[in-house]
Amino acid sequence: MSMTDKQKEKAARIPAIGVAGEQPSHMYSKTIIADAVGSDNLQNDEQLTLFEKLGVQYEEKDGIFYPLISAEEEQIDVGKYGYLWMEYMKLEYPQRYLSLKRYSRLREKAAEINEEAYKLLDNITDRYLQSHKPKNPTSTIEMWRIREQAKMIAEEIIFAEIVNQFH
């Protein structure tokens, strides 16, 4: 099916239209769209978006394709002291808090702090129990009281040295 010169001239003046509702092809710099002459819709590497090159999936809603991207962090257990540190950072250093959150490092850092705090808690509690022997080792109440004192002293140090610090 060959075209006459008049048909070719007319086709050259009509802007090429791809999918219904798209802008004419002359509006795109590197996109090839099927034009009025009848060529196929060609795609090459230059046409792929960055998301397509990275292999991002798309979801169609009302005829529009949206990339499926999210900035959710992994669900890492941050523990008691990690959670307290996150709250401290949120209130005292909001820029650092947002920076860590943006780079998905907040929960990871909080988990590290929680682990460090529990190690310090164990060390301080053990040292306190070694230096403060109960008068009556069979007394449950006296042992509980000594352990609670050790825990309170250790937590005070943990809050001062680990939790309420800029990390």
* DSSP annotation of 45: G
Reduce the DSSP state of residue 66 to 3 states and report it.
Answer: strand
Does pLDDT of 30 surpass 80?
A: no
pTM of the entire predicted model:
0.56
Task: Among 38-47, 65-74, 93-102, 148-157, name the one with the lowest average pLDDT.
Answer: 38-47
Helix, strand counts (H, E) of the chain = 6, 2
C-alpha to C-alpha distances, 64 to 33, 52, 60, nearest whole angstrom: 18, 15, 5
Task: Among 20-29, 50-59, 77-86, 143-152, name the one with the lowest average pLDDT.
Answer: 20-29
Tokens of 70: 């999210």
Interval 49-75 mean pLDDT? 75
